[in-house]
Chain A
Amino acid sequence: MIIAARKLTKYFEIKGVKNAFIRAVDDVDIEIKEGEIVGLVGESGSGKSTLGRLLIRLIDPTSGEILYNIPDDELEEYDIALENNDEKAAKKIADKYSITRLKGEDLRRFRRNVGIVFQDPYSSLDPRWKIEDIIAEPIIETKAMKPEEAKKRVEELLDEVELPREFKNRFPHELSGGQRQRVALARGIATFPKLVILDEPTSALDVSVQAEILELLRSLRKKYNMAMLFITHNISVVSYMSDRIFVMYAGKIMEKGYKNDVIKDPQHPYTIALISAVPQIKRTMQRIILKGDPPNLLNLPKGCRFHPRCPVALPVCGWTANELKPTLEFLIETKYFTEFPNVSIEIKGERELIVNNADPEKLRQVVNAEKENARVLLSIKEIASNGNSSIIRLHEYKTPKLYKLSNSREVYCLLFDPTIKERFKQP
């Protein structure tokens, strides 16, 4: 593996607020093989850029390990050590390959092996620098070549990205968006890196330019055999570019697998919705419209963080009394107001509610009638009577993990948890 991350986590602190963290990347495992293009898709704010920056140490992780250039068997050993909580063995391997503690000259040497291209071609090039100096910067700063050689390399790189050599004397503002992105690309691959992070390299470009840049990227990959992490929110682009796909949602990987598997046969409910949401000229798929918005990273939903929007959420996906209360209130006040006069609802705990002045039997009927429309009602485990009122108890929730299917396919969803599957068979 050219790079592998384990339990990688990045929490951003909020200035002036104690104990409030933006959980941008939350316990992520990712690995990229030599020469492989890995696509990372997800909505904006899901932590894709943060993950990309972590992998090349542009920012430091809160916790977790990043291993560079680690042979597959040793990574396997490392994983086993992690699983067995064998800290000593894990540390031994980590010390050999970890980049999380690199400093000074070592870090600089590492920089030579990685490159990055950013989304916005207008802000990623210093307006006061000539194109030549921009492209040569990584070569000179990482001491990859001598300054004289760097000059020649710049011309070579300009050829490589199909720009005229004369451009080296120009300034960024004299170039169009597509041309600038080519310059950024030339800079990204200037030191013959083994891994390039492409952070939405075409999102700011027009489709006709995007197509050309994508083509160029593919041919460069072929030539240099470098690994790429292709970050984008556009699943169609990923489907064109990558060998493998990681789907990210609210700081976590939801699904990973080979491109064809994920695109043709998505398993995670979020992936399914994401693919179906893409506008298509010839629609073949029933569109699933997700309700609501991605969650606030400061205060994530319990259990599976996708559950408030999940169209097939299970009773144990993370529902709490806080989520149930407004739904019940709404139903009681509108549709069923005739049957429940003077009702009030109190939260007794994360998994317990009291409905005052309500008959449990009637409540049960309402829940049964409405659970198809509001999945939160599924989370009700029992409705007991308590004098004049009813006590509602919820199922205990479970937090999913990445469940291995086959062929290096993994899905973060309780639907694939064998014990859960037993308990809640879906029709």
Chain B
Amino acid sequence: MMENRKHDSSPIVKIENLHLHYYTRRGIYKALNGVNLEIRRGEVLGVAGESGCGKSTLGRAIMGIIPRNAAIVEGKILVDGVDYLKPLREYFKKAKKFKPTKNQDLLKKVNEEMSKIRGQKISMVFQEPMTTLNPLLTVGYQISEVLFYHNPGLLASRRLARARATKEDTKNIVKILKEEGEGERLRQYLKNRNIMGLEDQIISIWRRKELHDLKKEQMILELCCEPISSMARGYLEQIEKTNSLPKFSKLPIVGRIVKRELLKEAFKKSAEFLGLLGIPDPDKVVYMYPHELSGGQRQRIVITTAMINNPNLVILDEPTSALDVTIQAQILELVKELKEKINSTYMFISHDLSVLSEVSDRIAIMYAGQVVEVGPKSAIFNSPKHPYTQMLMEAIPTIEAHELKGIKGEVPDMRNPPKGCMFYPRCPYAMPICKEKRPPLFKVGEDHYVACYLYGGEKK
């Protein structure tokens, strides 16, 4: 389960001066205006800001899922060092008049390129909770599909391991578990016996709290000697090695057997995974349709689907905003648990700062398509620097009633944003320079940056 990733110090995502504009009949909406941000390995980055400030756009741009009328005007997003959006940017530079159809052709290419990492290395949970699950398919099938297409190797190796393992093996495994738990010795044993595919199956049984130890033992002992048709075996071994699917159309009968084996395995893995994340009755849930589940359960399933391939980065776009507080609390708990159990990186988008305070390590505040302040959670909450952040904090109602202060004025019209600081029209500290030039990010503390002339530049 917990595969130890190499601890790489380079950020997993680096966004440099990103400008993204939406072309519409009503005008050009400048949704992102020079975003600078990095997402570091292993952290939970919270992104906050009011609706329309470009949070979702940013998340989608990282995933490469932007609509055809979105122009990459300037800047880049490096995902693991790769600049996927380059063709779009170059098209925009060259083109005299931006044409969505042209952009779409290039987007298709970008999509092809990115589909290799999407769902596997990075995945996303979208804002609309009802629309993400297909109402016509069972929950299990929808999770399985992700596994099947992105991680067939794992499925094959799980299935093969159960075929390869002998009674002797499982007995030894139980013995090791009893003596040392799920440590290095278990891994070593599985490796030597070439049954690594058993690892997550064993662990997911062993960690279940509600089972009697004897029952667990019994279940583990059953993980062996499962016969497999000799025709399928070869293909499964090939899939295990390459972690990619063969062209099933070329092997009509065997293909069907192999596919069925893989999908069956995927259902098993899905149920295991749901159980691991504390969803009750996972074996039943996988056979349910989305409408049979409550909003909270559905959202958990969606998050699970996003996590199932152990992605390096998960983007959660307002995963709790449509839910009630008590259900929201359940989801936040799930995210905290995920953080502990699965070593991944998270970008958590929310308009609610207090939600972010529960889960994030670092927080970025966005305003009108820009990151105006970014820093460690404690710095943001204890000493907010940007006037907008400060005023935002005063506008949040809390249980212990304090005087609320709204922010006067309106968010700028993004078709025609201010030339200088985006917050200038509403800022009580505005200075002449603020009207003329956009402030860059100034360092104000340990790892804490603010885009405001109060903290640097040619301040008067």
Beta-carbon contacts under 8 Å, B255-312 to A:
294-297
A166-193 interface bits toward B, Cβ cutoff 8 Å, 1 = contact, 0 = none: 0000000000101100000000000000
Is A206 a contact partner of B404 (Cβ separation < 8 A)? Answer: no
The verdict on B136 contacting chain A, using a C-beta distance below 8 Å, is no
Contact A281–B353 (Cβ < 8 Å): yes
- Give complex CA distance A338, B217 in Å: 12
Contact B406 A211 (CB under 8 A): yes
Known: A207-B392, A335-B212. A44 touches B324 (CB 8 A): yes
Given A293-B294, A293-B296, A334-B211, verify A279-B355 contact (CB < 8 Å).
yes
Segment 202-251 of A: residues with Cβ below 8 Å from B: 206-215, 233-237, 239-240
A290 within 8 A of B: yes
From the candidates A176, A208, A277, A335, name the one contacting B326 in the complex (CB within 8 A).
A277
Q: B214 touching A43 by the CB < 8 A rule?
A: no
B132 within 8 A of A: no
B369 shortest CB reach to chain A, Å: 15
A263 within 8 A of B: yes
Question: Quick one: given A210-B395, A239-B399, are A337 and B215 in contact (CB under 8 Å)?
Answer: yes
Task: Report if B184 contacts A (CB, 8 A).
Answer: no
| B391 closest partner in A (C-beta) | A208
Interface residues in A, total, Cβ within 8 A: 45
| Residue A336 lies at the interface, judged by CB distance under 8 Å to chain B | yes
Q: Is B2 an interface residue (CB 8 A)?
A: no
**Which of A215, A277, A282, A338 is B325 in contact with, Cβ under 8 Å?**
A277
A239-B401, A263-B399, A279-B354 are known contacts. Are A338 and B50 too (CB-CB below 8 A)?
no
B398 on the A face (CB < 8 A): yes
Q: Are A211 and B325 in contact (CB under 8 A)?
A: no
Q: Is A96 an interface residue (CB 8 A)?
A: no
Alpha-carbon gap, A393 to B352, bound state (A) = 48
CB contacts between A and B, total, < 8 Å: 132
Closest to A234 in B: B397
Partner of A215, one of B51, B297, B400, B404: B404
Could you say which residues of chain B place their CB within 8 Å of the CB of A378? Answer: none
Closest partner residue, chain B, to A212 (CB atom): B406
Bound-state Cα–Cα, A282 to B355, Å:
11
CA of A330 to CA of B281, assembled, Å: 10
Cβ-defined contact, B407 with A277, below 8 A = no
Question: In the bound complex, do residue B354 and residue A280 qualify as a contact, i.e. CB atoms below 8 Å apart?
Answer: yes
Q: A279-B352, A279-B354, A334-B211 are in contact. Are A43 and B326 (CB under 8 A)?
A: yes
The residue on B at minimum CB distance from A336 is: B212
A277 touches B397 (CB 8 A): no
- B330 touching A289, Cβ below 8 Å: yes
Q: Report the bound CA distance from A236 to B354 in whole Å.
A: 11
Q: Which residue of B lies closest to A162 (CB)?
A: B408
The one of B211, B329, B353, B404 in contact with A277, judged by C-beta atoms closer than 8 angstroms, is B329
Q: Cβ of A275 < 8 Å from any Cβ of B?
A: yes
> Across the interface, do A273 and B326 meet the contact criterion of CB distance under 8 Å?
yes
Bound-state CA distance A230–B296 (Å) is 26
Interface core residue of B50, B327, B355, B381 (most chain A CB under 10 Å): B327
Say whether A278 faces chain B, with CB atoms less than 8 Å apart: yes
The B-contacting residues of A in range 334-381, CB under 8 angstroms, are 334-338
Contact with A along B399-431 (1 / 0, CB 8 A): 111001111101100000000000000000000
Query: Does B50 contact A208, Cβ atoms closer than 8 Å?
Result: yes
| A338 cross-chain contacts in B, Cβ below 8 A | 212, 214-215
Give Cα A294 to B294, complex, Å: 9
Contact B398 A236 (CB under 8 A): yes
A421: Cβ under 8 A from any B Cβ: no
**Quick check: B326 and A290 within 8 Å, CB to CB?**
yes
Is the C-beta of B113 less than 8 angstroms from some C-beta in chain A? no
Q: Is the CB of A278 within 8 A of B404?
A: no
Instruction: Determine the distance from Cα of A293 to Cα of B292 in the docked complex, in whole angstroms.
Output: 13
Complex Cα distance A44/B325, Å?
10
Chain A residues positioned under 8 Å from B51 (CB to CB): 206
Residues 279-332 of A contacting B (Cβ, < 8 Å) = 279-283, 287, 289-290, 293-294, 330
Contact of B404 among A240, A274, A275, A330 (CB under 8 A): A240
B226 at the interface (CB under 8 A from A): no
User: Does B50 contact A281, Cβ atoms closer than 8 Å?
Assistant: no
How close is B233's CB to chain A, nearest CB, in angstroms? 33
B396 beta carbon closer than 8 Å to chain A: yes
Tell yes or no: B351 within 8 A of A by CB: yes
Contacts of A210 in B (CB 8 A): 395, 397, 406
24 CB contacts below 8 A, A to B, read A43-B327, A44-B324, A206-B51, A207-B352, A207-B392, A208-B50, A209-B407, A211-B404, A212-B408, A215-B406, A236-B396, A239-B397, A239-B399, A274-B325, A274-B326, A277-B326, A279-B328, A279-B352, A279-B357, A282-B381, A290-B329, A293-B294, A335-B212, A336-B212
Identify the B interface with A (CB < 8 A).
Answer: 50-51, 210-212, 214-215, 294-297, 324-330, 332-333, 351-355, 357-358, 381, 391-392, 394-401, 404-408, 410-411
Known: A210-B406, A335-B212. 16 other contacts (CB 8 A): A176-B410, A206-B50, A207-B351, A207-B352, A208-B50, A211-B405, A214-B406, A215-B406, A236-B398, A239-B397, A274-B326, A275-B399, A279-B358, A280-B398, A281-B353, A282-B381
